[in-house]
């Protein structure tokens, strides 16, 4: 058995599996644990109680943050956790431990997706051999590119500066700059960002959770939540289109992350695609790029398991 984990800012998915796929999977809230080692130790105890092996042949952890040069250490962007692969391997029966950026792992995971786990938002005109892009919001905003030849390029592109496209977005930028100084795209296109959009659109003292904002917006009975979600999606779409042009991702853009599966109805009918394709002289090029929403929240976990078990083929993730 091999161990895989997708360690985000808020939650962590951990699984044991083999060449045939996941055999045992658990979801943990990070606030309940002091660090990655404590969380994975708790998972191994649960696995042992379920009659599964208490040790792994090898492990791969996908982490929401940059992996240091050499691949042996990582620090989460939105949680004060640091992971050292060698220390973790000494502390727990994990076999050799490798670390990946979570969206680099998601890029590996694209090959594991079944047809039912993909929702085509824009068919475009796929160009074989062209780069593919994986991006999306959760606690933060992740981006990685899968290049021709199998190289995977992780990035921290979610931290580029926010470029407003209209008056409403310029007002949003001014509103956020009052409290945050430099405003990144992740400040908006993330779970916390959706909550900030809701405050901007309605009550500055509101404390609704992102999941509740999405629920109300999709239910159609809360105009403030609906406006906040549409503002979020417009910024998300513009950013995704900018990243697609940056990489000329004519192989396809895959929208992943913890939020995407929860807002699929509005991704289909909302402002995302219009903002994605609003690229002036490059509008036709953007419209020719396939855009796919990933229904599963396990994309990074599947990529980590494929890496741990050696099923990643010729894919080479750097960080």
Least confident stretch, 146-150, 294-298, 309-313: 309-313
**Short-list 33, 46, 45, CA closest to 81:** 33
- Kindly compute the dihedral angle of the four CA atoms of residues 265, 267, 255, 213, in this order, to the nearest 10 degrees: -80
3-state SS, 213-230, equals: HHHHHHHCCCHHHHHHHH
What is the chain's mean pLDDT, rounded? 93
**Short-list 261, 244, 68, 78, CA closest to 145:** 244
The ranges assigned to domains in the chain are: 2-108+298-318, 117-295
Residue 193 in this model has a pLDDT that exceeds 70 = yes
Mean pLDDT of 44-53: 93
Mean pLDDT of 34-51: 95
CA atoms of 85 and 307, how far apart (whole Å): 15
Residue pLDDT, tens place only, 119-176: 999 999 999 999 999 999 999 999 999 998 889 999 999 999 999 999 999 999 999 9
Q: What is the pLDDT of residue 94?
A: 95
Residue 269 in this model has a pLDDT that exceeds 80 = yes
Q: In the chain, at which residue ranges do the beta strands (DSSP E only) sit? A: 2-7, 11-18, 21-29, 59-63, 73-75, 82-84, 97-101, 118-122, 132-137, 141-146, 151-155, 252-255, 291-294, 316-318
Is CATH 3.40.1180.10 what the domain over 117-295 is classified as, yes or no?
no
Contacts of 174 (CB under 8 A, 6+ apart): none
Query: Mapping DSSP to helix (H, G, I), strand (E, B) and coil, where does residue 290 land?
Result: coil
Which tokens sit at 225?
A: 């939540």
Q: What is the pLDDT of residue 261?
A: 94
CATH architecture, range 2-108+298-318: 2-Layer Sandwich (3.30)
Residue 312 in this model has a pLDDT that exceeds 70 = no
pTM for the whole thing?
0.91
CA atoms of 161 and 114, how far apart (whole Å): 35
């Amino acid at each position: 058995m091999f161990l895989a984990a997708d360690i985000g800012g808020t939650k962590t998915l951990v699984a044991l599996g083999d060449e045939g796929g996941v055999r045992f999977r658990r979801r943990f809230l990070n606030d309940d644990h002091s660090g990655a080692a404590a969380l994975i130790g708790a998972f191994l105890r649960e696995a042992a109680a379920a009659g599964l092996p208490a040790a792994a042949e090898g492990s791969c952890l996908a982490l929401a943050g940059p992996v240091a040069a050499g691949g042996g250490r990582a620090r989460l962007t939105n949680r004060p956790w640091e992971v050292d692969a060698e220390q973790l391997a000494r502390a727990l029966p994990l076999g050799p431990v490798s670390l990946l950026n979570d969206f680099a792992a998601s890029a590996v995971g694209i090959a594991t997706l079944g047809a039912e786990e993909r929702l085509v938002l824009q068919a475009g005109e796929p160009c074989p051999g062209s780069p593919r892009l994986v991006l999306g919001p959760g606690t933060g905003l992740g981006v990685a590119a899968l290049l021709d030849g199998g190289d995977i390029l992780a990035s921290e592109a979610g931290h580029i500066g926010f470029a407003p496209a209209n008056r409403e977005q310029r007002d949003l930028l001014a509103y956020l700059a009052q409290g945050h100084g430099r405003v990144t795209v992740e400040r908006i296109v993330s779970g916390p960002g959706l909550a900030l959009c809701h405050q901007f659109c309605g009550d500055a003292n509101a404390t609704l959770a992102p999941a509740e904002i999405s629920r109300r917006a999709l239910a159609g009975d809360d105009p403030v939540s609906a406006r906040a979600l549409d503002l979020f999606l417009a910024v998300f779409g513009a950013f995704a289109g900018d990243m697609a042009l940056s990489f000329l991702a004519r192989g396809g853009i895959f929208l992943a992350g913890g939020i995407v599966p929860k807002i699929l109805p509005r991704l289909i009918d909302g402002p995302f695609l219009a903002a994605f394709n609003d690229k002036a002289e490059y509008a036709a090029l953007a419209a020719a790029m396939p855009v796919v929403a990933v229904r599963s929240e396990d994309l990074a976990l599947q990529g980590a398991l494929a890496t741990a078990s050696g099923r990643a083929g010729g894919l080479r993730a750097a960080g």
